[in-house]
Amino acid sequence: MPHIAPSLRGLPYMLLRHLITAIRDIVSPLKREAFVHGPSTPRRYRIAGFTFIEMMIVFTVAGILLSIMVKAVRGTWAAASRRTASRDATAYLYRARSIAIQQSRAAWVVRSANVLKIMVDSSGTPVQLGTQLDFSQRYGATLGASPKDTIQFDPRGFAVNVTQTPKLIVAFGGRTDTVCVTGLGKITARSCP
């Protein structure tokens, strides 16, 4: 088979070969045979390679396939980023609850804008524990909370002052994932009320 451009080497060889053969069958009535006349040889030889029309058709078909593939991959990437962000929000809630139980003191998960952090009671003063997580910077996601921006856990791991179910809402790519905390401290991403 003739030389293939370096940019096309990533395509499967058999698919490319069949595609070029099909294009040659379509284009061959449209093109003129190119011949080389040598001064010493009376014979005419066909020049090996692709015609410009064949290469344009291959690039057009490859471009169409690439645009279809990019759209599918972009949707998958957005869903994966949103799920990862909601898992991190869930992990912060579990971490705050377990710290409240282990250290027998109140703990809070605090949302400010798109940042989530854990605060722990230290002799009546809330102190930040660990690092804060910026959802906008890390995932490009928007973090929301309902009804309040703070979810408090008591030393037994129960959510405090829960009249409505506290929720953290992760939004990315036009879709949202919600993480809820029940009054008994159960953290769930499924069947949020």
Topology of 85-188 in CATH? minor pseudopilin epsh fold (3.55.40)
Residue whose C-alpha is closest to residue 168's, from 183, 188, 185, 140: 188
Whether pTM exceeds 0.75: no
Three-state SS at 69: helix
pLDDT tens for each residue of 76-128: 888 888 888 889 989 999 999 999 999 999 999 998 888 999 999 888 888 88
**Has residue 177 got a pLDDT over 50?**
yes
Please tell me the distance from the alpha carbon of residue 96 to that of residue 109, in angstroms, as a whole number.
7
pLDDT tens for each residue of 21-60: 777 777 665 555 454 555 555 555 556 667 888 888 889 9
Q: With pLDDT > 70 as the criterion, what percentage of the chain qualifies?
A: 78
Please tell me the distance from the alpha carbon of residue 51 to that of residue 87, in angstroms, as a whole number.
53
Indicate the domain borders of the chain: 6-77, 85-188
Beta carbons of 34 and 54 less than 8 angstroms apart:
no
pLDDT at 1: 46
CB atoms within 10 A of CB 126: 16
**What one-letter code names the amino acid at 21?**
T
CA gyration radius, the chain: 31
Cis peptide leading into 155, omega within 30 of 0? no
Q: Quote the distance between the C-alpha of residue 164 and its chain's center.
A: 32
pLDDT at 150: 87
